[in-house]
Amino acid sequence: MKVLIIGGVAGGATAAARLRRLNERAEIVLFEKGGYISFANCGLPYHIGGVIDDRNELLLQTPESFNRRFNIDVRVFSEVISIDRAARRVSVKNLTTGEVYGEGYDKLILSPGAAPIRPEIPGIDAKGVFTLRNVADMDKIIEHIRAARAKTAVIAGGGYIGVEMAENLKRAGLDVSIIQRSEHVVAPLDYDMACDVHRHLRQNGVKLYLNNEVAAISKAADGLKITLKDGDLSADLLMIAVGVRPESGLASACGLAVNERGGIIVDSRMKTSDDDIYAVGDAVAVTDTVTKQSAQIPLAGPANKQGRIAADNICGLDSEYESAQGSAILKVFELTVATTGINEAAAKRQKLNCDKIYAWSPGHAGYYPGSKPMSIKVIFEKGRGKILGAQIVGFDGVDKRCDLLAAAVRLGLTAGDLTKLELCYAPPYGSAKDPVNMVGYMIENVLGGMVKNFHWHEVDSLPRDGSVTLLDVRSPIELRAGKIDGFINIPLDDLRARISELPKAKPVYVHCHSGQRSYIAARILAQNGYEAYNLSGGFRLYKSIMTR
């Protein structure tokens, strides 16, 4: 059996290694149009910022090492320019010599990846404008910073790559601005959860231009002039990070089925519309775990799994890729941002019957030094309480909590299942009631009618005409940090003694700092005949969103 693989990195290199482990006699040829078949593309920004000092640490396998270990014919600087499906043959151009030759196959795996989008902006090809996809792009950026003695950088796009580059260009000593077309950075987050990220970026010296975009680029005496939809900037370097598109031109040119976004259509075994051709990685269309609709999720984890699954099926094993949920994590200076599953904005677009809760929990026991809270938002299905998605912004412990919630989304777990999880606990690492357990309890309280929530976006529309009671149960000292207009203050510990001050005929909307004490207040009120509502996420979340 002869298998050709077009493209390396996560999907293609994984498929090649798995093929060899399953079939020692197969002839395997891997074509890569660049010079590197397996590199840590997620680590590229960190070499630019000097966090990863040794460039060679990013090169996971060289053609020579891959050949020695796996006996795979690796051909770098080799671009497959066409596929003849009828003849089961590809045409390959040697980019070093210019030679074009043919190569036959029994099975073919496409792993072309996704390319950075370069919008049609006047001047986008000017010197000093970059995208970041591979090692060569990284080298060019580093050389430009050195040669131009760059001091200022503008990043068009506030997604994962844009934010990572902002941090690392700051580490490299540059003054950095992010231009973001929408109202917030990091698209998988909802706006309310992104506000803490905005604050942290600004605290670390990154300027944000939200609801804005690059309209034109021109050369200036001191670098680049960047004309925005609203305003102008100048910079020594402009990074374009507005997203990626599937590199599916080769697939569509030979007649393979692709969707309207250019994603190569595959079945659960990673087989394309041609029985002898498989496709993996960022170029393929996958099924979203929550919505069950077609999606593009360009992440390394799914690409690795897909490469393995394609190899399994070529070698006769029954292996399937079911869906992708987009679990991802991002370092933003000292802050950690993690997401999984669906966010509220997407849930509304899909008209899902769901609700949300906010939690404010410490990463480990509050009495152990270094504990800092994390902000958690969970989307869940009304009725059963099935977990549909989660977003966490905080410091220590964000990763493991989001990983647990990612498992919950994958396995279809409910809030009740979360309460039953027995998780590792010691003061340096967690709490006896872990934040994930607490999320389960909070959702159960909502579903069981133990608490009625209201949310930050409803606060300002609450009537101030006396028809409802607005109650703040924080301590008098906490009021110095700010308060919400129209709310009277009765500290929680005084509420039972002063409950008669609140008229029973009026609904009571109550808040505290995080939502925990106000939940207790709402339970006291409800059991004394009041109609009470608790502000989920509390004053902290409200202030975070309203402070721009």
How far from the centroid of its chain's Cα atoms is residue 77's Cα?
31
Give CA–CA dist 458/537, Å, rounded. Answer: 12
92 forms beta bridges with 80, 101
User: How many Cα atoms are found within 13 Å in the side-chain-facing hemisphere of 539?
Assistant: 22
Angle between helices 191-203 and 538-546 (to 10 degrees): 70
Q: Which has the closest alpha carbon to 510: 529, 487, 526?
A: 487
End-to-end distance of the chain based on CA atoms, in angstroms? 61
Q: In 10 A of CB 299, how many CB atoms?
A: 16
Residue 381 confidence (pLDDT) = 97
What is the residue type of 182? S
Q: Please say whether the beta carbons of 385 and 416 come within 8 A.
A: yes
Give CA–CA dist 296/65, Å, rounded. Answer: 32
Residue 473 confidence (pLDDT) = 98
Q: What is the pLDDT along the chain (548 residues), one digit of tens a residue?
A: 999 999 988 899 999 999 999 999 999 999 999 888 888 888 999 999 999 999 989 887 888 888 999 999 999 999 999 999 999 999 999 999 999 999 999 999 999 999 999 999 999 999 999 999 999 999 999 999 999 999 999 999 999 999 999 999 999 999 999 999 999 999 999 999 999 999 999 999 999 999 999 999 999 888 999 999 999 999 999 999 999 999 999 999 999 999 999 999 999 999 999 999 999 999 999 999 999 999 999 998 999 999 999 999 999 999 999 999 999 999 999 999 999 999 999 999 999 999 999 999 999 998 999 999 999 999 999 999 999 999 999 999 999 999 999 999 999 999 999 999 999 999 999 999 999 999 999 999 999 999 999 999 999 999 999 999 999 999 999 999 899 999 999 999 999 999 999 999 999 999 999 999 999 999 999 999 999 999 999 999 999 999 87
Give CA–CA dist 212/178, Å, rounded. Answer: 10
Alpha helices in 368-500, H assignment, sequence order: 398-411, 415-420, 435-447, 456-459, 495-498
- Can 315 be counted among the known catalytic residues? no
The residue written with tokens 């939809």 in the block is 229
Q: Model pTM?
A: 0.94
Give CA–CA dist 2/16, Å, rounded. Answer: 12
**Candidate list 42, 254, 315, 354, residue with the active-site label:** 42
Residue 65 confidence (pLDDT) = 87
Residue 63 confidence (pLDDT) = 85
Residue 59 confidence (pLDDT) = 83
Q: In this structure, what token pair is assigned to residue 329?
A: 């994590």
Radius of gyration, CA atoms only, the chain: 27
Phi–psi pair at 196, nearest 5 degrees = -65, -35
Maximal CA-CA distance, the chain = 90
